[in-house]
């Protein structure tokens, strides 16, 4: 779940999510060697009982293991909490290394596994983390992607790399009955899941095609973004990079994409 439940106001969810994140950071500080002088993390985290936190939604969306979840939190903590950064530097034995590394994570986090940073695992497959490999995979600095960092903190917005390419499509105002019926059929098919994730909307009227897509998104309660086919790169590696960014964004926002030809 990427947003607060309808029964929980946004402000309440944001505050509870922040408290849960603080609790996660407190737990990491204990693993990094800080004396237990604060409330137990479990007690603090109980404040968020009954809601889905951003880190929990990320874990479910991308299939993270418990170790990968903690590794992502450690990288986030080093960026958001100066005390975690200081503890990382102490653990590395170098004041200038106030950041997370894979070697440090393997040493302090429960259930470590080497495969966590392989290119095929979620952390790097979906670019949740980036590794500075100039110092080696275990010693290099691990950075959490900025978009993912803000998502953990409870802020949701379109990835800045996609902003020049995508346009948020508003809800349609006037539609023909036939278009609305078509949109309902498409929405019903998509709602059933399965392999029907790609739909072609044909017809001579570009505005009509966009309205149908927008109505589908409205019925599914999902945001719809549009991209011109002319903006889709021709180079295979650039297409793959764009597809990865969009698929990650679609998961984070539970969004749909309209490619306008």
pLDDT at 43: 46
* Burial classification of residue 81, based on how many CB atoms lie within 10 Å of its CB (0-12 exposed, 13-18 middle, 19 or more buried): middle
- pTM, full prediction: 0.86
Q: What is the pLDDT of residues 2-28, one digit of tens each?
A: 445 445 566 788 888 998 999 999 999
Report d(CA 99, CA 141) in Å as an integer.
Answer: 6
State which residues of the chain have pLDDT below 50. Answer: 1-3, 5-6, 43-46, 48
- The pLDDT assigned to 10 comes to 63
> For position 192, what pLDDT does the model report?
84
Q: What is the reported pLDDT for 3?
A: 47
pLDDT of residue 133: 79
């Amino acid at each position: 779940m990427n947003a607060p439940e309808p029964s929980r106001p946004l402000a309440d969810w944001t505050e509870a999510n922040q408290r849960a994140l603080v609790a996660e950071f407190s737990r990491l500080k204990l693993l990094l060697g800080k004396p237990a002088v604060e409330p137990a993390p479990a007690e603090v985290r109980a404040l968020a009982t009954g809601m889905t936190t951003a880190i929990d939604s990320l874990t479910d969306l991308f299939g993270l293991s418990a170790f990968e979840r903690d590794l992502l939190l450690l990288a986030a903590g080093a960026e958001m909490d100066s005390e975690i950064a200081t503890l990382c530097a102490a653990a590395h034995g170098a004041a200038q290394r106030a950041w997370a590394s894979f070697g440090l994570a393997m040493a302090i986090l429960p259930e470590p596994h080497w495969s966590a940073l392989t290119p095929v695992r979620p952390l790097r497959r979906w670019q949740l983390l980036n590794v500075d490999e100039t110092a080696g995979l275990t010693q290099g600095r691990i950075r959490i992607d900025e978009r993912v960092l803000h998502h953990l903190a409870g802020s949701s917005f379109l990835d800045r790399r996609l902003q020049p390419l995508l346009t948020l499509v508003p809800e349609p105002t006037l539609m023909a009955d036939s278009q609305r019926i078509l949109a309902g059929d498409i929405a019903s098919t998509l709602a059933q899941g399965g392999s029907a994730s790609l739909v072609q909307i044909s017809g001579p009227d570009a505005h009509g095609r966009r309205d149908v897509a927008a109505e589908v998104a409205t019925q599914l309660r999902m945001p719809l973004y549009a991209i011109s086919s002319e903006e889709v790169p021709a180079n295979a590696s650039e297409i793959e990079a764009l597809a990865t960014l969009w698929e990650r964004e679609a998961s984070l926002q539970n969004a749909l994409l309209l490619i306008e030809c």
